[in-house]
């Protein structure tokens, strides 16, 4: 049974009202939810609130999770991010201005949770490969939770320009990561031939 199968089975058990299954999901994934929330919000108390809210939602809506749409960790990360964005948007403007926005902080090595799928160093390198105009809008959208319109107002550019910069920035990061994957694949093939 794969990790994915285990998570799907746990979610099925949660949907049936199995509290022990929820505890197991929390034990395995609560720290990830907290860490993502803490990196976005910069406050431990608020990150704890988000992590708890996620698992309350899982308890209430486990039956609505469809493993064919996304993996559990992808879904969890997306929901945590969305809850954090909602929380940031509800803040006072003064408190909101104090949110951490330095990308180096977000992608630092100090995170105790190391998702297996993506190496933060590699993502940071990809982020640094795109022009500042593109990385800035990505930072504002993903880490400050701003909408296209809010970013456009802050930067004094049209919303369409913001969308284009985001698309180009993501495309540039994807291209860099794909090149690294190809290089790693070629290096692994070369090593196996020896």
**6 & 92 share domain:** yes
Domain boundary among 64, 97, 130: 97
pLDDT tens-digit map of 95-153: 444 443 434 344 333 344 344 344 566 777 787 888 989 988 988 887 777 788 889 99
Domain span including residue 77: 1-97
CATH code of the domain in which 37 resides = 1.10.1740.10
- As given in the structure block, the two tokens for residue 111 are 């995170």
**34 & 63 share domain:** yes
**Count of structural domains within the chain:** 2
**87 & 112 share domain:** no
Band of pLDDT at residue 56, cut at 50, 70 and 90: very high
Domain boundary among 67, 97, 127: 97
Mean pLDDT across the chain, nearest whole number? 77
Give the Cα separation of 168 and 170 in Å (integer): 6
pLDDT tens-digit map of 163-194: 999 999 988 888 888 887 777 666 666 656 65
**69 & 116 share domain:** no
Least confident of 29-33, 73-77, 132-136: 73-77
How far, in Å, are 39, 80, 130 from residue 49 at the CA level?
A: 14, 11, 34
**5 & 67 share domain:** yes
Which residue matches tokens 């320009």? 161
**122 & 85 share domain:** no
Residue 79: per-residue pLDDT: 85
**5 & 93 share domain:** yes
Q: Which long-range contacts link 12-20 to residues 24+ away (Cβ below 8 Å)?
A: 12/62, 14/58, 14/59, 14/62, 15/62, 15/63
Instruction: Kindly tell me the burial class for residue 112, based on how many C-beta atoms sit within 10 Å of its own C-beta (0-12, 13-18, 19 or more).
Output: exposed
**18 & 66 share domain:** yes
**24 & 86 share domain:** yes
Percent of the chain with pLDDT over 70: 77
Residue 16: per-residue pLDDT: 93
**59 & 124 share domain:** no
**79 & 135 share domain:** no
Residue 115: per-residue pLDDT: 42
Residues 6+ away with beta carbon under 8 Å from 168 = 130, 134
- As given in the structure block, the two tokens for residue 134 are 């593109």
Domain boundary among 41, 74, 97: 97
**92 & 127 share domain:** no
Residue 1 has pLDDT above 70, yes or no: no
Q: Determine contact, residues 113/101, Cβ cutoff 8 Å.
A: no
- As given in the structure block, the two tokens for residue 43 are 């406050």
Residue 28: per-residue pLDDT: 87
Least confident of 38-42, 60-64, 171-175: 38-42
CATH code of the domain in which 174 resides = 1.10.10.10
Residue 26 has pLDDT above 70, yes or no: yes
Residue 175 backbone dihedrals phi, psi, to 5 degrees: -60, -45
């Amino acid at each position: 049974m794969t990790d994915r199968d285990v998570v799907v089975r746990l979610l099925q058990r949660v949907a049936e009202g199995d509290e022990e299954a929820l505890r197991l999901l929390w034990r395995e994934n609560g720290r990830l939810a907290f860490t993502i929330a803490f990196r976005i919000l910069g406050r431990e108390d608020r990150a704890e609130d988000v992590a708890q809210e996620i698992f309350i939602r899982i308890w209430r809506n486990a039956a609505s999770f469809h493993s064919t749409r996304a993996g559990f960790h992808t879904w969890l990360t997306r929901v945590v991010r969305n809850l954090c964005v909602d929380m940031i948007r509800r803040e006072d403007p003064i408190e909101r201005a104090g949110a951490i926005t330095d990308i180096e902080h977000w992608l630092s090595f100090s995170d105790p949770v190391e998702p297996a799928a993506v190496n933060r160093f590699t993502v940071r390198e990809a982020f640094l490969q795109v022009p500042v105009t593109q990385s800035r809008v990505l930072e504002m959208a993903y880490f400050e939770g701003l909408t296209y319109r809010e970013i456009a107002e802050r930067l004094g550019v049209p919303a369409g320009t913001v969308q284009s910069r985001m698309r180009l920035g993501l495309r540039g990061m994807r291209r860099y990561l794909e090149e690294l994957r190809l290089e790693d694949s070629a290096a692994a093939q070369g090593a196996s031939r020896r």
